[in-house]
Each structure stands twice: as C-alpha cells, then as structure tokens.
Amino acid sequence: MRLDQFLSARTMYTRKELRQMLAQGKVKVDGQVVTKGDYKIVPEQNRVCLNGTHVPGNRYLYVLLHKPKGYVSSADEPGQRSVMELVPPEMCRKDLRPVGRLDKDSTGMLLLTDDGQLAHQIIAVRSHVAKYYHIVLARPWEAHYAEKIAAGIVLADGVHCQPARAEKVPGTENEALICLHEGKYHQVRRMFAALGNHVAELARVAMGGMELPPDLPLGRCKILPEKDVQKMLKCESDFARLLQTL
C-alpha cells in the first residue's frame, strides 16, 4: 500500500497537507524518515509515525479520551463543542465516533472507535457492560441510598432502573462510587434526584474491566490495543478496590 494512501485513510489530514509533511520529514517508517508518498508499506507490519505519533495499521482504531466538561459526546451537534475536537488529526479517522455518551457537564473515560460491531456490543443492554461513576453529591450521602439503589430505583417519570451497586467513598460525606449495567438518559443524576439529592459532579472512572489510566490528563487521549478494549466486554473492575482509590 502506498504511504500517502495509508496516511490519508487513517488520519484526518488532506492529501495536500500530507504531501507537505512528507516533504518536511515529518513521517517515519520503522524509525526512518520517508519523504515520498509512493513508498510502499505493509500496514500490519511497518510502524508509521506522523509528527511523532504512531499511526496504527490495524483495521480498526480504538481511542480512549479523558473527557473534560463542556464537550458533547457526539460528532455533529450544531452549536456545540464536540469531543472529536480533542482528538489530534494523526489519531483520528473519518469514521471514528464516540461509543455511548457522557453528559456535557460530566467527565471521565470515553471510548471512540470506527469498529461499529464492538461499539454496539458495549452499548447493548444485553452485554451488561459495567460502568463505574465517581460522583459528588450536593448533600451528604444517606445510609439508605445503597439499599434502594440495589433494589432498583424508580425514576420520577415512572421508569424502573435495574438493580445497581453504590457505596460512599470512605472518609468523605458526599462522595460515592456507583456501578450500572445499563445506560438510560442522565441515569445517575435522575436516580439521585429520585432519592432527594443532586449530583453536583460526575466522572466515569471505569468500563467493564478497564479503568481510566491515572496518567491520562483531562482532555487528552491515547490509542488502545484491541486486547485492552476487550476487557470492557469480558471483565469487570474490582468495585471494592476501585472505591479505595478514589
């Protein structure tokens, strides 16, 4: 495969921009600068770097974003800042999309991929992918919250939530960790509203068996190998251990 075709398919740069970067020596193949677009590579074997960032040759791309506040989890919502703006062009592809949603005012881990089948598996209710949220409540945690959440909260509009697990973060008055196996619209916030409290801050800290890397700064992202993404589908995080790290 031609190098320029590979870069065009796996980044958001135009052909003109790529020609310029090639001429400027910003592209390396297996550690060596390559300036010719017609240079032949094998995507699965050669390591291509653009502007110092590895451009994966895999068929699908998996990007983990530490989402900040103020961005919507969609690719094309008019008048809103999209999480897609936070993905560098050399780490992006034309079909890359967020998997599920995090509210505009929420933070934490968000997966983006062009693997539609895997995205559906993570979102589908029948997959039961666990999602863990660290929350800060406006008022102190009350002892009966855990029991009511475990029994299945009924929201204000009559919608029933599946049983979930929630516990207060040790040493705090109004922080908690909650684990859901479903993803209704604004579910965590609506659950605590039904309990007479208000979620002031919400951050997703884990999905399935994968936790938000502590060294990934807010607003930054990293490329994940598929084996790490599979942890989201096949495993669950240790709730008790995760609670102690908050």
Where residue 126 falls among pLDDT bands split at 50, 70, 90? low
- pLDDT tens-digit profile of 61-104? 999 999 999 999 987 778 899 999 999 988 888 889 999 889 99
Average pLDDT of the residues of the chain: 92
Task: State phi, psi for 206 to the nearest 5 degrees.
Answer: -165, 155
Task: State phi, psi for 111 to the nearest 5 degrees.
Answer: -90, 140
Q: Is 103 a catalytic residue?
A: yes
- pLDDT tens-digit profile of 26-61? 999 999 999 999 999 999 899 999 999 889 888 899
Distance spanning both ends of the chain, measured CA to CA: 47
Instruction: Classify residue 216 by burial, with Cβ atoms within 10 Å: 0-12, 13-18, 19+.
Output: middle
Residue of 4, 76, 95, 103 marked catalytic: 103
Where residue 215 falls among pLDDT bands split at 50, 70, 90? very high
Average pLDDT of the residues in 4-16: 90
pLDDT at 210 (0 to 100): 92
pLDDT above 90 for 234: no
